[in-house]
Amino acid sequence: MGLRPLDLAQWIEIDVRRDDELALKSQLLAQRRDVVTATRPAGDVPSAELYREIQTWLATYAPSVGGGPGGETDEHPVVAASRLVQEDLCVMVREDAWRLAAASVCFPSRWSLSAKIGRTLDEIHEPIPGYATTLAGPTAAVFDRLRPDKPFWRLNWTVIDSPALHQPHAPRELPPDDIDQWFFRVERQTIRRLPETGAVVFTIRNYVTAVAELRRQPEFLEHLVAAIESAPPAMQRYKGWVGVAQRVHDATA
């Protein structure tokens, strides 16, 4: 799973794109709320706790950006919480299994929130090759044993053909032939148990950079090709990477 211990002070990441990304969130919430938000009753109380936790975190670690404690909200608390941070937010609750009970996901990487709400961890990750046989058990164990004072983080990445942050339904197509039109998309994910409700919060922060810029860095393309070629064929198909490594070889030969 690639999990690493997380210092709570680093739970949220803030950078110079904050105003632009929060403005884009507001636009999506106004125009496509049914696409970027989904909730179930079981997620209401944990979402309220999440909203308070984010307010407290901002007041403690980033007081200059605002968003500290400010009373009640008229919208669902998972949405109110999402408006304060660049991260997307998912709230998982333990019922018969861990289920997605509330989420505000404005910047999905080619997946649909409406297809995931209410589903279990196994059902959410069902499309991922090898998940059922290698990751389902460890993932459930991490969620079961997670402590409020011991959060974790991990990175996920892919190569895509668009820099857009909001990509809920785009098909998985190979990038165009010119590798300088490709984009490297990284998700920084954190998991943290809320101390009062025991729900688990999953945050997703997206970073997108043009491959044309990254290829100026020594060994970037070499490492990219090595990572793609080391992935099982099923994962390469799932990620849309079939033929990508060869295209990099051809472009840099």
Domain tally, the chain? 1
Q: Which amino acid is at 219?
A: E
pLDDT band at 168 (very low <50, low <70, confident <90, very high): confident
Per-residue model confidence (pLDDT) at position 172 = 67
Q: Which domain holds residue 52?
A: 4-252
* Averaged confidence pLDDT in the chain: 91
- DSSP letter for 41, please: G
Mean pLDDT calculated for residue range 191-209 = 97
Mean pLDDT calculated for residue range 165-183 = 81
Query: Which pLDDT tens digit goes with each residue over 87-132?
Result: 999 999 999 999 999 999 999 998 899 999 999 999 998 888 888 8
Cα–Cα dist 27/22, whole Å: 9
Lowest mean pLDDT among 123-132, 149-158, 224-233: 123-132
Q: Which amino acid is at 217?
A: Q
Written as one string, the DSSP assignment of 111-179 is --GGGTTT-BHHHHTTTSTTIIIIIHHHHHHHHHH--TT--EEEEEEEEES---S-BSS----PPPS-G
Per-residue model confidence (pLDDT) at position 63 = 93
Number of Cβ within 10 Å of residue 210's Cβ equals 13
Mean pLDDT calculated for residue range 195-200 = 98
Per-residue model confidence (pLDDT) at position 92 = 97
pTM, rounded to two decimals? 0.92
